[in-house]
Homo-oligomer: A and B are copies of this chain.
């Protein structure tokens, strides 16, 4: 079993997408984060859900969380609308969470090692064996998915 056999489809966004589109995708699919790829589907980064939430928190609330209680629902709705004015690229400028990449021939242990080392919940699988980071993302492997394939069936252990 190699990375190409384990790779599953996972929703992606590009740097040109709006933060609103990214937020809708994340919310609609119940995802912890999104995978960002460029126009040639090369791995760019991960955008965790908390990064999107950060956009709707006004700077003075970030500095003093006690101010948050005065914001009612309407305020929050209005702040959410601002997501339409920002792109995924803008979010990545703030802070970039690396998306680790393995090649399609990577073994289970290689994938586990890369995810553990990067403390990443997801690794991208690339179609370029020699330079994985330059290849196109053909899918991802999540920690849950990898463990599901690796764990002995209950009662076997």
Contact = CB atoms under 8 A, between A and B. Distances in A.
B107 A72 contact: yes
Q: How many copies does the complex hold?
A: 2
B80 A144 contact: no
A28 B84 CA distance: 36
B61 A113 contact: yes
A88 to B, nearest CB: 15
Interface stretch (A37-45, A47-55, A132-140): A47-55
Contact of A26 (B75, B109, B147): B147
B30 A113 contact: no
Interface residues on A, range: 35 or more
Interface in A99-157: 106-110, 112-121, 142-148, 150-152, 154, 157
Nearest to A78: B152
A32 B108 CA distance: 18
Contacts of A73: 1, 107-108
A134 to B, nearest CB: 19
A92 interface: no
A96 interface: no
Contact of A76 (B109, B148, B157): B109
A141 to B, nearest CB: 10
A-B pairs, top 7 by smallest CB distance, nearest first, are A49-B143, A71-B109, A54-B116, A27-B148, A68-B110, A27-B147, A32-B32
